[in-house]
Amino acid sequence: MFSLNPRFAELGLEFFSQVKPTPLTQRPKLVHLNSELLATLGLDHLSEQNLCDLLSSQSIVSDYPALAAVYMGHQFGHAVPRLGDGRALLIAEHEYAGETWELQLKGAGKTPYSRMGDGRAVLRSSIREYLASHAMQHLLVPTTQALALLGSQDEVYREQVETAAVVLRVAPSFIRFGNFEYFAKHGKIGELEQLVKFVCQNYFQDIELSDANYTLVFLERVVQLSAEMIAHWQSLGFVHGVMNTDNMSILGLTLDYGPFAFMDRYNPSQIFNHSDSEGRYIYANQPNIGWWNLYRLAEALAALNVASDQLESVLTKYAEYYNQKYIQLMGAKLGLSSFAAADMSFLDELLQVMQAEKIDWTYFWRRLSYGEVGQQQLNLDYPSLALELWFAKLNARYQSTELTPAMRQQQMLATNPAFILRNHLLQFAIERAQQGNYQEIERLFNALSQPFVELAEFNAYYQVAPKSSAQIVLSCSS
């Protein structure tokens, strides 16, 4: 079925610990199954029972060692020298149609890296991770994916008693910046080099290890992928919420969905993670934090005898990669065929109006695609003169693009989603699921599969959030 010997295992025991998953025993039940991903992986022959047994660890033979990786991390700016997979276990690697996928159980019990934690994940946070990764996948953002979600009646203790759940996560690799930092920090230079080579050989196969500068080429690849991922986040109003270096994928995938949020009203300073009192991880800071995190990765790579000025000159390319992607995405959202220098201040002008008028991010861009930005069309409390003036300028700007109105609209509708995973809808689905009703998860999942088309049955999902949802703050205790 899968290879129980992932390539990651070949790296050796300095890189992970072998751990037996701890089964969930109290009425484990499949809450949702991502059949589309199951087909992509060529695994549609697996029955729901097979998956239920796999996610609850019932079918994993008792002496089967899964792998928990060791890594470190800069958490909220501070180095934590030893973290690691405290509740995620790599159980297999699967190859299909020329691609490889690691399979991880998140919430499958304690590992040597669990510290004070119980190795579990609660239903609430597992639903969040499951639906968010599906949302991002269909919004065309690089992300880890989720194949199935299992609930149980096993009790876990957070601020209150909750029930345990498991997400089966899938990605080509779950290696993080923190894996590299760990070996540099502990002076394990051979392992650090081994890890860089491992990632190049398996995931960046065009990088020639015979090239004396392969470490720099490797860093540049990570710089580019990370910059592009964050540009995607900004274009969608997505706030990751906990951009510690242990949550940064070396493949530039959105990883570890914790206190994330898709913004409703545009507020670049809104704090969603209640552990983030200083607002380090707000929307406005994400591009800079991406760079800061890459700096930590580059520092780790410096241990490989790479000159720091060379590493730094690679890091300076971050701004270029970021801006290029950001401009491409925002230009498409605006309906432009190319982005001139003057368009940047024009965009900034819009963002200021949106912030001042508290305009809903997703709703605005979708309405703009139809050329509708009036007070009623945007559900504003009062007319916005600033927005009307800006819109007149946009229409003037359209005169100098070569797109026909029809082409423009097509481009805008394909890039400005009608639907994102709004906090209040997600919260509602979680509350229903906690009462044993999974229908709302199914509905959200289906709507998220096609975020760029408006379907009559999901009409209510496309509306702006009620004002009461503006202050949702999320807990890290997941």
Segment near ligand AMP (CB under 6 A), from 5-13, 77-85, 188-196, 395-403?
77-85
Q: Kindly state whether residue 74 participates in binding ligand AMP, applying the rule CB under 6 A.
A: no
CA-closest candidate to residue 122, choices 86, 88, 166 = 166
Among 41, 51, 83, 474, binds ligand AMP (CB under 6 A): 83
Q: Kindly state whether residue 179 participates in binding Mg ion, applying the rule CB under 5 A.
A: no
Pick 130 or 321: Cβ nearer ligand AMP = 130
CA-closest candidate to residue 162, choices 150, 149, 171, 152 = 152
* Active-site pick, 154, 246, 256, 276: 246
Among 21, 33, 85, 448, binds ligand AMP (CB under 6 A): 85
Q: Kindly state whether residue 191 participates in binding Mg ion, applying the rule CB under 5 A.
A: no
CA 144 to CA 260: how far, in whole Å? 14
Pick 71 or 364: Cβ nearer ligand AMP = 71
Helices 361-369 & 317-334 angle (0-180, nearest 10): 50
Which of positions 211-250 make contact with ligand AMP (CB under 6 A)?
242, 247
Pick 86 or 279: Cβ nearer ligand AMP = 86
168: phi then psi, degrees, rounded to nearest 5: -90, 110
Which of positions 366-395 make contact with ligand AMP (CB under 6 A)?
none
118: partner contacted, choices ligand AMP, Mg ion, none (Cβ within 5-8 A by kind): ligand AMP
405: partner contacted, choices Mg ion, ligand AMP, none (Cβ within 5-8 A by kind): none
Nearest approach, Cβ of 121 to Mg ion (angstroms)?
A: 11
CA 68 to CA 86: how far, in whole Å? 7
Active site residue 246: yes
Among 53, 129, 256, 276, binds ligand AMP (CB under 6 A): 256
Which of positions 107-166 make contact with ligand AMP (CB under 6 A)?
113-114, 117-120
CA 106 to CA 148: how far, in whole Å? 11
The 193-232 contact track toward Mg ion, x by CB under 5 A, reads ----------------------------------------
Pick 247 or 254: Cβ nearer Mg ion = 247
Among 151, 237, 258, 331, binds ligand AMP (CB under 6 A): 258
Pick 96 or 157: Cβ nearer ligand AMP = 157
| Cα distances (Å, whole numbers) of residue 329 to 228, 324, 332, 415, 417 | 10, 9, 5, 8, 12
Which of positions 243-282 make contact with Mg ion (CB under 5 A)?
247, 256
In DSSP terms, 171 is beta-bridged to 102
Q: Which residues contact ligand AMP (rule: CB under 6 A)?
A: 83-87, 113-114, 117-120, 242, 247, 256, 258
Q: Which residues are catalytic?
A: 246
